[in-house]
Amino acid sequence: MDERAEVLKDGIWSALDRRGVSRRNFLRFCSVMAGALALPQRYAPVIAKALEQTHRPALVWLEFQDCAGNTESALRASHPSFADIVLNLLSWNYHETVMAPAGKAAEKSLHDTVVQEQGQYIAVVEGSVPTADNGVYCTIGGRAAMDIAKEVCSSAYATIAVGTCASFGGIPAAAGGVTGAVSIGQAVPGLRLINLSACPMNGANLAATIVHWLTFKELPATDNLNRPLFAHGDRIHDACPRRAHYDAGQFVQEWGDEGHRQGWCLYKMGCKGPSTNYNCPRVQWNDSTNWPIGVGHGCVGCAQPQFWDTMTPFYHTLPNVNGFGVELTAEEIGIGVVATVAGLSAAHAIGAGVKRQLEKPRAEKEPSAPVDASHPLETAPTNSQQVPQHNASSQEETPL
């Protein structure tokens, strides 16, 4: 029995059940998707209903100048049973990294989709498209990437660029590159396009985009860079769990210092959260286990266009961060808190060496004050000016 007949006869629940997807898991998926799309929970049944009625649409995944990091990220997307849902609700017809056939047989899978599902399928693009020298920097089956992109994306219902390379050119397009790498949007203008940027993009956002399309029969609303608002509507800095430390002037000053061990703000270590729009803090990674700032390293701004050039050097403090909320005096409050917290930690007596480290900075608190006056809320040094200050701070300031 073909799938449509099967669904019509027994309904989506029986059909899903036969494929090992329980009703509970399916509803949970819809609920999670509603959350990912920032929709009210009452939309979960709407999503479920939309998916019930949907014939498995085709999807092809093209890889050009890529590292397959977005492919891996899609495989990591977690609950509930992302792989099950994608395998069962979409017909995932072409994806070099994971598909069974190779060579001509693989090309047949792509060709069949383009011909038979004309205007109906989703084209996912991973990696940039090289335009220099007649496209010799990326060929597949002897064809230039540009040639394949034009044919496949132009015939798709919509194109989803996954990762910053496909969205904005990414690392092959960074300064120093010689391959003429461009985004899929530049390579094939005029597409119905969604850019899921970040390096890699979060698989949860891909799932949410697809479900949005299946549910509402249209692509999600985007910003002026074609990025979905549900994923790129907020600044990392504004949703960061460490934001309170920023406002309180509690900054990590040196890797592994006491502030670092207390989960303080990484702004002074070069964090690019203030300049990056992404739902990283909310969705997090790997089944919401953690995210880069959560582990103790700054954001590198990977969801932004040209971040390889505009956000580097990564460890230099961002200039011109707009202040709001708590004002500059918070810095002084922060220093007081430093001393208090240090005292509390010392009371745990976890080791003589640790104690020594904790005691030392308190004695050296005074000299740090002038350097702290370079709080971002007050001054906006250029990046080059900031370098010596930053380096000076790691030597002169308290290693709190």
Partner 1 sequence: MTRIVIDPVTRIEGHLRIEAEVQDGRVSDAWSSGTMFRGIELILRNRDPRDAWVFAQRICGVCTTVHALASVRSVENALGITIPDNARLIRDLIAGTLLVQDHVIHFYHLHALDWVDITSALKADPGATSTLAQSISTWPKSSKTYFKGVQDRLKAFVNTGQLGLFANGYWGHPAYKLPPEANLLAVAHYLEALDWQRDFIRIHAVLGGKNPHPQSYLVGGMATALNPDNESTINAERLGLLTQLVQSGQDFVSQVYLPDVLAIASFYKDWAAIGSGLGNYFAYGDYPTDVQNSPATYFLPGGLILNRNLSTVGTIDQHQVAEYVTHSWYSYNEGDKAGLHPWKGETQPNYTGPQPPYEFLNIDEKYSWLKSPRYNGQAVEVGPLARMLLAYAQGKPNVQSLVNGALAQLKVNTSALFSTLGRVAARAIEAQVMVNQLPVWLAQLEDNMGRGDLSIHDNTYWDPGTWPNESFGFGFHEAPRGSLAHWIHIQNGQIANYQAVVPTTWNAGPRDAQGQRGAYESALIGTPVANPEQPVEILRTVHSFDPCLACSVHVVDPKGREYANVHVM
Contacts to partner 1 from residues 68-127, by CB under 8 A: 68-73, 75-78, 81, 83, 87-88, 90-93, 95-109, 112
**Site size for partner 1, by CB under 8 A?**
123
Give CA–CA dist 11/252, Å, rounded: 56
Nearer to partner 1, 140 or 229 (CB): 140
Residue 290 engages partner 1 in binding (rule: CB under 8 A): yes
Shortest distance, position 43 Cβ to partner 1, whole Å: 26
Give the interface segment with partner 1, choosing from 65-73, 189-197, 223-231, 366-374 (CB under 8 A). Answer: 65-73
What's the rounded Cα separation, in Å, for the pair 134 and 145? 10
Contact region for partner 1 (CB under 8 A) — 25-33, 153-161, 188-196, 248-256?
A: 248-256
Of the two residues 200 and 334, which places its CB atom closer to partner 1 in the complex? Answer: 200
Report yes or no: 225 and 303 within 8 Å, Cβ to Cβ. Answer: no
Residues 343-362, interacting with partner 1 (CB under 8 A): 345, 348, 350-354
Q: Determine if 295 is a binding residue for partner 1 (CB under 8 A).
A: yes
Task: Out of 38, 192, 263, 346, name the contact with partner 1 by CB under 8 A.
Answer: 263
Site for partner 1 in 119-178 (CB under 8 A): 130, 133-144, 147, 170-172, 174-178
The total number of residues shown for the chain amounts to: 400
Q: How far is the CB of 81 from partner 1 (least distance, A)?
A: 8
Q: Does 332 interact with partner 1 (rule: CB under 8 A)?
A: no
Q: Write the CB contacts of 221 (distance below 8 Å, at least 6 apart in sequence).
A: 228, 229, 230
312 lies in the site for partner 1, by CB under 8 A: yes
Query: Side by side, which strands form the sheet with 91-95?
Result: 91-95, 58-63, 122-126, 158-162, 193-196
Task: Identify which of 232, 260, 269, 246 has the alpha carbon closest to the alpha carbon of residue 326.
Answer: 246
d(CA 75, CA 144): 27
Q: Which of residues 23-52 bind partner 1 (CB under 8 A)?
A: none
State the nearest-atom distance from the C-beta of 299 to partner 1, in Å: 8
322 binds partner 1 (CB under 8 A): no
Cβ-contact 131, 180 below 8 angstroms: yes
Half-sphere exposure of 222 (CA within 13 A, CB side): 15
How far, in whole angstroms, is CA 72 from its chain's centroid? Answer: 13
67 binds partner 1 (CB under 8 A): yes
DSSP secondary structure code for residue 40 in this structure: -
In the complex, what is the shortest distance from the CB of residue 153 to partner 1, in angstroms, rounded to a whole number?
Answer: 18
Q: Decide if residue 323 touches partner 1 (CB under 8 A).
A: no
6 contributes a contact to partner 1 by CB under 8 A = yes
**How many angstroms separate the Cα of 213 from the Cα of each of 88, 90, 255?**
16, 12, 44
User: Which H or E element spans position 341?
Assistant: helix 330-347
From the list 149-157, 209-217, 219-227, 307-315, the region that binds partner 1 by CB under 8 A is 307-315
Q: Which of 223, 233, 300, 305 is nearest to 269 (CA)?
A: 300
